[in-house]
Amino acid sequence: MEHGGKRIGAGRPKGSVSDQTLVALALREYVLGEVIKNKESIVKALISQAKKGNISAIRELFEIAIGKTDRIEDSKLVRHHQHSWWLNESDCPKGS
């Protein structure tokens, strides 16, 4: 008898779903339903946290409103003074 390799009929049948996947799908459906039912209070709470300076809430609101943005690599930034960063040398203020 051979060891290893592809065997006819081995593995999970195509299209079948594990019990863990079924539980995850049911949980996702439940959470989505609760979010839809409570969307107004959730958004108000998120805005309230953003107004208090919660950076995660601010980011989440911006992602919802304008979409996810690409991160800028530090290597593409140009240093200007101690605390200023610019994308291009031409964007830096002149005479500083």
Rounded to whole angstroms, the Cα distance separating 38 from 56 reads 20
What does the pLDDT average to over 75-88? 50
Q: How far does Cα 15 stand from its chain's mean position?
A: 28
Helix axes 55-66, 39-51, angle to 10 degrees: 130
**What confidence tier does 85 reach under pLDDT thresholds 50, 70, 90?**
very low
The pLDDT of residue 68: 77
Instruction: Say what the pTM is.
Output: 0.53
Distances (CA, A) of 15 to 7, 18, 88: 18, 10, 52
pLDDT at position 52, please? 96
- pLDDT tens per residue across span 11-64: 888 889 999 999 999 999 999 999 999 999 999 999 999 999 999 999 999 888
